[in-house]
Amino acid sequence: MNILVFNCGSSSLKYQLIDMQSETSLLKGQVEKIGQTVKTHQEAIAIVVDQLKEKPVHGVGHRVVHGGSVFTKPVVINASVLEELQALNFLAPLHNPYNLQGIQAALRTWPKLKQVAVFDTSFHAGLPRRAKYYGLNKEVAEEFKIQKFGFHGPSHNYVSDRASEFLGVTAKDLKIISLHLGNGASACAVEYGKSVETSMGMTPLEGLLMGTRSGDIDPGVIFALAKKYDLDDIENILNKKSGLLGLSGLSNDLRDIQDQAEQGNDDCRLAINAFAHRVRKYIGAYAAVMGGVDLIVFTGGIGENSASMRRRVLQRLDFLGVDFDEDLNNESHDKQVQMISSNRSRTKVLVVKTNEELMIAKETNVMINKAEVSADLVIPIAVSARHLHLDKETFAKLFGEGKEPTKYKDISQPGQYACHEKVNLIGPRGVIKGVRLLGPLRPANQIEISRTDEYKLGVDAPIRDSGKVKDSAPITLEGPAGTVHLKEGLICARRHIHMHPNDANKLNVKDKDVVEIAIKGGPRDLTFGDVLVRVKDSYVLEMHIDTDEANACELNKGMAGDLIYQSVETAKGHFV
Ligand code: AMP
């Protein structure tokens, strides 16, 4: 299976043909000067067709910068998708119209091939609300669809996965700060595999200082400029005449600026310092957002190639556990992945060469094969009401020394049972009484509640896979023999499916895959995304959702789920 990936800009078309079996590039290039020597995007694609010679193409993936709130996932392109894409042009006028021109030319060239749009914004579609919304008037924000979208998704996704794999773990186990530093630059906080903050906003203008973009400024600057310039000029100044170019007065290319800084050019020195300062500021902020950081990743033209910029960014970060290794930093040129922190460093720092095209090809491949994924095995659904698992010590404090949990009845997963014992959950705002214990006792406390319970208690519980309670929310438990304040342990359980390996085989999934499940047969059919697959010999096929989720699809007895779609993680197990 060969996937052709296009990244179409205003005056250039980057392309790459990728063999999905080996994940290697069969052909790679760039057509430049579109609008000049090459007249149109159609002509540019004709040049690519020429280059392909006899190599077959089985699908086409297009990078599209902005998916707005319509496209939170890759999508197979059809007439209605084209219409919706057209309507998004206003959100990224410097990018989306050209992405679209490339798509239209490719559709004319390969009308029979499936073509997929992959969005820079999708990786950030799950940003928590507190990160997504600006402190703007709500009605104004709704009317103008103003929110943070974030960009460089395929790159942040790729390098955080690649870096985790290098360390022998998955991104789902780490708090990562990903720094894509190129002509466009953005930072992303990737907490346990998900983007939870990112520096670019509604447009790619917010955040870090870039080649020609200002990044963060006081919005008051725009009013000051409006006294002299009209809005188009201001947009042009902020997008094309600011950043490294604007501060240095020389170039948007860090190499030129570094040369001149060495010659004593003070503007160039300021440009370098301001760039590094902004990145450091975001590292500090994102470590605070995630309550820590395990891994910092550098990528993009500057991040991958400028050892001196990395050194500047990383200086005095020992308080975050970073122990920078100067020699490794200078060695990093050729490798795909290079560690630049010492063995002693608690927070690891890696340089990873980004490969957005491979990420786009993988997403495209999954979308093209999507229809073939469905299986005819129906998945029973069980609703988990709020409950808790306790460790031995906490159980003793709540119910008395020497006491043991007593079985009330077996539950569907073999070996597990509901107990007679119940506790009260005490939050800052309210109390939930009589929450049932599930046995047997476990090595760690885990209290599972719904989003509605969260409001009742006045707590902010993270969505977590079972067992991942580190840095989750605190809660007070009250039992007949005592009260225990837990510093962590309260979660909203991520929806999941238990299955035996035989069922996993039939459904063509593996442990830790993430899938979509359609619930059918009720008054409000609903498709759940982000469903974790858990495979064990002792498991019986069953999907677990909480009471809020069951209410949302008005679940009744006998309703069941259909596995309809595996996400990109599924296609390769953990994405590498
Ligand atoms: P990108 O947009 O990711 O392709 O990054 C392009 C930018 O990377 C260029 O404009 C330069 O500023 C920077 N860059 C590339 N190579 C080097 C290098 N060896 N040293 C410093 N900056 C570099």
Provide residues with CB under 6 Å of ligand 1. Answer: 182-183, 211, 252-255, 300-302, 305-306
Nearest protein Cα to ligand 1, atom 15: 301
Locate the ligand 1 atom nearest the alpha carbon of residue 180 and give its number: 3
Residues 6+ apart with CB under 8 A from 448: 384, 386, 387, 388, 466, 491, 492, 493, 546
pLDDT at 324: 95
- In whole angstroms, give the CA distance from residue 456 to residue 427: 8
pLDDT in tens, 118-175: 999 999 998 999 999 999 999 999 998 899 999 999 999 999 999 999 999 999 899 9
Does 559 score more than 80 pLDDT?
Answer: no
> What is the Å distance from ligand 1's center to 332 Cα?
15
Q: In the predicted model, is pLDDT for residue 284 greater than 50? A: yes
pLDDT of res. 561: 72
Find the 166 Cα to ligand 1 centroid distance in Å.
24
Q: Is 563 helix (H, G, I), strand (E, B) or coil?
A: strand
User: What is the value of pTM for the model shown?
Assistant: 0.76
Q: Does the pLDDT of residue 220 top 90, yes or no?
A: yes
Residues contacting 460, CB < 8 A, separation 6+: 454, 473
Greater confidence, 542 or 216? 216
CB 313 within 8 A of CB 283: yes
pLDDT at 484: 97
Cβ pair 474, 462 in contact under 8 A: no
Q: What CA–CA distance (Å, rounded) separates 218 from 239?
A: 15
- The top-scoring range by mean pLDDT among 28-42, 360-374, 384-398 is 384-398
How far is ligand 1, taken at its centre, from the CA of residue 254, in Å?
A: 6
Q: What is the mean pLDDT of the chain?
A: 91
Q: Which ligand 1 atom is at minimum distance from the Cα of 258?
A: 21
Nearest CA to ligand 1 atom 9: 253
Asked whether residue 557 carries a pLDDT value surpassing 60, the answer given is: yes
CATH entry, 1-119, from 3.30.390.50, 3.30.530.20, 3.30.420.40, 2.30.300.10: 3.30.420.40
* pLDDT (tens digit per residue) in 6-58: 999 888 899 999 999 999 999 999 999 988 889 999 999 999 999 998 899 99
Give the residue, by CA position, lying nearest to ligand 1 atom 19: 305
What amino acid positions are annotated as catalytic residues?
A: 120
| Candidate of 14, 30, 254 to mutate for ligand 1, largest count of ligand atoms within 8 Å of Cβ | 254
The 10s digit of each residue's pLDDT in 185-208 is: 999 999 999 999 999 999 999 999
171-191: pLDDT as tens digits: 989 999 999 999 999 999 999
Mean pLDDT of 382-386: 88
Assigned token pair, 574: 């953990």
Report the residue among 95, 255, 297 best suited for mutation to probe ligand 1: largest number of ligand atoms under 8 A from its CB: 255
Q: How would you label 332-352 residue by residue, b for 16+ Cβ within 10 Å and e otherwise?
A: beeeebbbbbeeebebbbbbb
> What is the position in ligand 1's atom list of the atom closest to the CA of 183?
2
Tokens of 326: 């100067």
Contact 517, 375 (CB under 8 A): no
pLDDT, residue 558, reads 65
- Ligand 1 midpoint to CA 253 (Å): 6
Residue 397: pLDDT above 60? Answer: yes
3-state secondary structure 111-175: CCCCEEEEECCHHHCCCCHHHHCCCCCHHHHHHCCCCCCCCCHHHHHHHHHHHHHHCCCCHHHCE
* Coil/strand/helix, residue 515: strand
Asked which of 88-102, 372-386, 442-456 is least confident by mean pLDDT, the reply is 372-386
Stronger pLDDT, 569 or 575, i.e. the higher one: 569
- Ligand 1 centroid – CA 256 distance (Å): 10
- Per domain, the residue ranges of the chain are 1-119, 148-366, 405-493
Give the 3-state secondary structure of residue 308: helix
CB 452 within 8 A of CB 438: no
Cα–ligand 1 centroid distance for 322 (angstroms):
24
Mutational test site, ligand 1, from 95, 180, 302, max ligand atoms within 8 Å of CB: 302
* 552 CA to centre of ligand 1 in angstroms: 48
CA angle 465–468–474, rounded 5-degree value: 110
Q: What is the pLDDT confidence band of residue 571, given thresholds at 50, 70 and 90? A: very low
Q: What integer pLDDT is reported at residue 374 of this predicted model?
A: 47
pLDDT at 376: 60
Distances (CA, A) of 229 to 233, 234, 240, 248: 6, 6, 15, 22
Residue 309 alpha carbon, nearest atom of ligand 1:
21
pLDDT band (50, 70, 90) for residue 530:
confident
Residue closest by Cα to atom 8 of ligand 1: 301
- Gap between the Cα atoms of 414 and 411, Å rounded: 7
Confidence of residue 573 (pLDDT cuts 50, 70, 90): very low
Look at residue 572 and tell me whether its pLDDT is greater than 50: no
Given this model, what pLDDT does residue 11 score? 85
The rounded Å distance from CA 181 to ligand 1 centre is 8
Q: What is the pLDDT of residues 495-528, one digit of tens each?
A: 999 999 988 888 888 898 888 888 876 667 788 9
Helix (H) or strand (E) holding 571: helix 568-571
The whole-angstrom separation of Cα 296 and Cα 282 is 12
The Cα–Cα gap between 320 and 346 comes to 8
The pLDDT value recorded for residue 51 is 93
- The pLDDT confidence band at residue 394, using thresholds 50, 70 and 90, is very high
Three-class DSSP labels, 275-306: HHHHHHHHHHHHHHHHCCCCEEEEEHHHHHHC
Residue 298's identity, in one-letter code, is: F
Closest atom of ligand 1 to 184 CA is 2
pLDDT digits (tens, 9 = 90+) for 477-490: 999 999 999 999 99
CATH fold match for the domains 1-119 and 148-366: yes
Looking at residue 576, what is its pLDDT?
21
Nearest CA owner, ligand 1 atom 4: 301
**Which tokens hold the place of 18?**
């990728």
CA of 248 relative to ligand 1 center, distance in Å: 15
Q: Which CATH superfamily is domain 148-366 in?
A: ATPase, nucleotide binding domain (3.30.420.40)
302 C-alpha to center of ligand 1: Å?
A: 4
Q: Is the pLDDT of residue 373 over 60?
A: no
Q: Tell me how far apart the alpha carbons of residues 306 and 255 are, in angstroms, rounded to a whole number.
A: 8
Q: Who contacts 392 (Cβ-Cβ below 8 Å, separation ≥6)? A: 441
Ligand 1 atom at minimum distance from 254 CA: 12
> Could you report how far apart the first and last alpha carbons of the chain are, in Å?
18
Higher model confidence: residue 145 or residue 63?
Answer: 63
